[in-house]
Amino acid sequence: MAKLKPRLLFLLAALLSGLALPGAALAGKVYLPLMQRQPLPTTAPGCAVGQQEAVVTGIVDGDTVDVRLGSSVYRLRYIGMDTPEMPGDCYAQEATERNRQLVLGKSVCLEKDVSETDRYGRLLRYVWLPGGDMVGAILVREGYALAFTYPPDVKYSSLFVSLQQQAREAGAGLWSACTVQPTPTGQPCSCAGDLYNCGDFATHEQAQACYEHCLATVGYDIHHLDADRDGIACESLP
Please state, in angstroms and rounded to a whole number, the distance separating the CA atoms of residues 234 and 194.
15
Please state, in angstroms and rounded to a whole number, the distance separating the CA atoms of residues 225 and 235.
9
From 68, 75, 100, 122, the catalytic residue: 122
235 is catalytic: no
Provide the CA 119 distance to its chain's centre, in angstroms.
Answer: 20
From 77, 98, 125, 141, the catalytic residue: 77
Q: In one letter, which amino acid is 117?
A: T
Q: What is the DSSP string of 168-227?
A: HHHT-THHHHS------TTSSS--SSS---GGG-SSHHHHHHHHHHHHHHHSS-TT---T
Q: In one letter, which amino acid is 46?
A: G
77 is catalytic: yes
181 φ, ψ to 5°? -125, 80
From 53, 85, 111, 205, the catalytic residue: 85
Q: What amino acid positions are annotated as catalytic residues? A: 77, 85, 122
